[in-house]
A and B are shown apart, each in its own frame.
Chain A
């Protein structure tokens, strides 16, 4: 896993300062079908390559971030505050 994360508020920090919540997925509509919700809650693609996740800067600014990283090369493409965008793409 990527070892240095550039927090938009704090700068470059070691991954030990963060807590990973998991894939940043678009939340289905409240009345979406049960299989759509099942997919959202339980099923993950586990791709080789670009992946977007929620990371919490627990031991730093305590902001929720959206980190886009490569699961194979550990490269981080983008890191922004989760409040900056209402919706995430996945």
Chain B
């Protein structure tokens, strides 16, 4: 972990929230985004979640043995180092705060708009609140979590954030 944080201008800094009838698209603050690589044989995941919650972070399932931990505020270097030490040897952290951006898509039409971009079935019966997966939206790979009945969080690589944003703005045009 680097001793100094690189200060970046927000990837979607210039973008005002897209607000339409039954759908809105907003950029989240570029706070903390950690990639967790977890050894499932080392103790239980409940403790892991508790440690992260204490640091003000929420867990998002990513893939087998891997999670994202996200938060709206940037963790100080010392706090991140302390968290990293607490989680070892059960989990290793890769700080991705500089590398991935979060976008919230919410409203009654959110699932309908997102369905234009992905083959994943977003019906709440099979994709309940808290469920997450990685998929293609058009040609852009993004991680999607249902954070509410009508709300989704997209996590996308920083370099693709503007493209995904533009596509979401376009896909939601029919509801303006």
Contact = CB atoms under 8 A, between A and B. Distances in A.
B135 A62 contact: no
B136 A17 contact: yes
Interface in A1-39: 9-14, 16-17
B63 A17 contact: no
B141 interface: yes
Interface residues of A, number: 15
Given A12-B119, A13-B119, A14-B119, A63 B64 contact: yes
Given A16-B136, A17-B135, A59 B64 contact: no
Interface residues of B, number: 10
B64 A13 contact: no
Contacts of B96: none
B64 A61 contact: yes
Interface string B44-87: 00000000000000000001100000000000000000000000
A16 B119 CA distance: 10
Contacts of B28: none
Contacts of B115: none
B133 interface: yes
Nearest to A62: B63
B19 interface: no
B134 interface: yes
A26 B120 CA distance: 33
Interface string B105-136: 00000000000000111000000000001111
Nearest to B126: A11
A59 B136 contact: yes
A60 interface: yes
Nearest to B119: A14
Which 9 A-B pairs rank lowest in CB-CB distance, beginning with the nearest?
A61-B63, A59-B141, A59-B136, A14-B119, A60-B134, A17-B136, A10-B133, A62-B63, A13-B119
A16 B120 CA distance: 13
